[in-house]
Structure 1
């Protein structure tokens, strides 16, 4: 006997003959045309190296060997059914899990309210939040680690679908003792570019936004 896997539909056909008492009825049960069913059983007999059916004018019955193999075929199909049910449950479990990536600013100021609203609307969804800078969030969405990401970067890598969900505004803050705290006129772009600032790390969306806004100027190294 050649070592190849039997067709599960043909095993179901064999079981059908045992239950229905005829090959034609078994073929209808599995949705197979009668000639194809007859060829399939003959192919299975060649594969197993033993007759499986006794054909007679009223229908067909299983041979003793066919009865034994039908018993094992039932077990195989029962295990296969369980396999499909487990696969379905895993698919459902995955679809009910959402991994969200968020940049640090978004995670701190916006995600608590957003995730609370999502949990109220869809309590069955398991939510996992990962907090990184904007560049890292984009990388995690690209490689499939995160299902969706929220960043405040002015640009994102190609290959990502983007949608604006909110708008933010960057402002300059200074200590009360700083000269800018006492002046009435706005700080100019040139003054901002010439001043050492405390800024976020490279990869942060706010840092990228600032760098792009001041890219035409020579700038000193940041304080931090």
Structure 2
């Protein structure tokens, strides 16, 4: 086992991989929460220990050497194994723990219940506490370290956070069955959609952010409401169209309470993401929930398809 004497520590391997990933000692320092001098010292110590140069330094930053590329690939595998070991150990000692999760409305309503059921089977002694809100409030909670894990719909993730795509959905236009749009076999176009006041989610929600990007200059909303359920209910009772996640209106489409309206020149697919603070990496039950949420799951029931033009 003499070869183990030349293996850098996990801290040194983390400094190497972070610097290589960012191409910068300074960026690696920010990710690891240490000084740039400490990053440089860890890298130099690792290279001395191994007897080879892993990174090539220049005024423009750092990049892997030929040998360094191979070393970095091995280092990633070692770090991943170490993370798995840490998560497993922490998971064994998670009895009685409360897992704090912040989730945007669509995810908390449409996806988190099935994830929570699977987490309960794996960790029956862990209490899952979910704080629903919009994407802006979720990002704030994760940034401040107030929760273990967050789930958002917004397309913009702050650079200081880590993220992983867990699902995909699509924003669609829906209307009550007695609305004129519901009877248009050929649908509407973005010009008509943009001129029409709708019931929408509030500013700060991932849904509203996507709409603002897809339809710049859209007419001011007729009403703004702070939850997906409230928007859905208001659209049905007031007879006004809205734009919501396809996941949020599955049952309404299936029962005919709402009808999907075809927009001939617009589609709004999006990615739903888990986010976490790099200084508070998901471990134990949080890591298990992250794993569960990234696994393929059975698709929800689909409502009636939009008739072809």
TM-score class normalised by the smaller sequence = 0.5 to 0.7
Instruction: Report deviation, 1:99.
Output: 0.8
C-alpha contact (below 8 Å) 2:212/2:218 kept by paired residues:
no
| Structure 1 stretches of 4+ moved >3 Å | 92-97
Structure number having the greater strand percentage? 2
Please say which structure displays the higher CA radius of gyration.
1
> In the TM superposition, what is the alpha-carbon distance from 1:176 to its structure 2 partner?
2.6
Give per-residue Cα distances to partners, 1:32-80, cap 9 Å, x unaligned: xxxxxxxxxxxxxxxxxxxxxxxxxxxxxxxxxxxxxxxxxxxxxxxxx
Query: Distance between the aligned counterparts of 2:116 and 2:213, measured in 1?
Result: 31
Aligned partners of 2:96 and 2:127 also within 8 Å: no
* Pair 1:183-2:196 in alignment: no
Structure 1 equivalent of residue 120 of structure 2: 119
For 1:109, the equivalent position in structure 2 comes to 110
Q: 1:102 to 1:198 in 2, by over 3 A?
A: same
User: Counterpart in 2 of 1:211?
Assistant: 212
Query: Secondary structure of the equivalent of 2:168?
Result: coil
Spell out, residue by residue over 1:20-39, the C-alpha distance to the aligned partner (whole angstroms, 9 max, x if none). Answer: xxxxxxxxxxxxxxxxxxxx
8 Å CA contact 2:142, 2:149 repeated in 1: yes
Q: 1:212 to 1:156 in 2, by over 3 A?
A: same
Matches within 5 A, 1:56-67: none
Local SS of the residue matching 2:99: strand
Shift of 1:97: 3.4
1:138–1:199: structure 2 CA closer, same or farther, 3 Å change rule? same
The aligned residue for residue 222 of structure 2 is: 223
SS in 2 for 1:199: strand
Q: Structure 2 CA distance, aligned partners of 1:95 and 1:212?
A: 43
Distance 1:202 1:156 in 2: 16
TM-score, scaled to structure 1: 0.54
Report the counterpart of residue 145 of structure 1 in structure 2: 146
Q: Distance in 2 between matches of 1:210 and 1:95?
A: 41
Give the drift of 1:95.
9.8
Q: What is the RMSD computed on CA atoms of the aligned residues?
A: 1.9
SS state at 1:172 partner: strand
Using the alignment, how far apart are the partners of 1:151 and 1:204 within structure 2? 9
Asked if the contact 2:96–2:125 (Cα under 8 Å) also holds between the matched residues in 1, the reply is no
TM-score, length basis structure 2: 0.40
Gaps of 5+ in 1: 1-91
Counterpart-to-counterpart distance in 1, 2:196 and 2:170: 20
Deviation at 1:117, TM superposition (A): 0.6
How far apart, in 2, do the equivalents of 1:116 and 1:177 lie? 38
Q: Unaligned 5+ residue runs, structure 2?
A: 1-92, 224-309
2:231 matched to 1:193?
no
SS of the residue corresponding to residue 136 of structure 2 reads: helix
Whether the 8 Å CA contact 2:198–2:222 is kept in 1: the answer is: yes
Shift of 1:126: 2.9
